[in-house]
Amino acid sequence: MRIDDRGQIRVLESLFAVSVVFSALLLVRPIYVSFSNQDSQNTLYSIGMNVLIQLSQDGELGKLIRQRNWTEISSRLSIMLPLGVSYNFSVYNENLEIINGSAISNGDLNGRSVISIQYLLVERTQFAFYVVRLQLAWVK
């Protein structure tokens, strides 16, 4: 009686593939961004400004502020900002009175090096002016 060797090779091949995948997962560390202090500030400012420009394209951010849709703004910021960045978002009217009654943030900024970005926004349908302040910090 002859034993079929084809099945044994497939099992060995699959065990080898599984060991390669698990060893790769064990050897790869999470990638954290580490910058010097000034580079960190410049990088956060660039990230924040790009996010605000992307949000305000086609009047989307102004529309969301006019509708007082803070949860949608918060979810869009969480999607657009990279992992490891904590934010606080505030909206002021032309008299510099805060508009958003609830906090729009994804974490605590206390004790961290925070960059603050102020952005002047014009809502086109009602010609309302808003000052948007986005504060960013690296989460460590």
Q: Are 52 and 135 in contact (CB under 8 A)?
A: no
Return the DSSP state at 59: G
Average pLDDT, integer, range 112-125: 84
pLDDT at 78 over 80: yes
- Model confidence at 85, pLDDT cuts 50, 70, 90, reads confident
Phi, psi of 88 (to 5 degrees): -140, 130
Question: Which is it for strands 85-92 and 104-105: parallel, antiparallel or unpaired?
Answer: antiparallel
Q: 120 versus 107: which is more confidently predicted?
A: 120
Classify burial at 126, counting beta carbons within 10 Å of its beta carbon; exposed 0-12, middle 13-18, buried 19 or more: exposed
26 in a structural domain: no
Amino acid at 95: N
Residue 16 domain-assigned? no
Here the CATH number for the domain that contains residue 54 is 3.30.1140
In terms of residue numbers, what domain contains 75? 36-138
**pLDDT greater at residue 2 or residue 107:** 107
More confident residue, 131 or 112: 131
Q: What's the pLDDT score for residue 75?
A: 92
The answer as to whether 8 is a domain residue is no
Q: Within a domain: residue 107?
A: yes
Tell me how far apart the alpha carbons of residues 67 and 36 are, in angstroms, rounded to a whole number. Answer: 40
Question: What are 45-75's pLDDT values in tens digits?
Answer: 999 999 999 988 888 888 888 889 899 999 9
Q: Is residue 24 part of a domain?
A: no
Q: Is residue 122 part of a domain?
A: yes
Predicted local confidence at residue 90, as pLDDT:
92
Q: Is 101 a member of any domain? A: yes
Is residue 87 in some structural domain? yes
Q: For 9-53, what is each residue's pLDDT tens digit?
A: 888 888 889 888 877 777 765 554 444 566 678 888 999 999 999
| Domain tally, the chain | 1
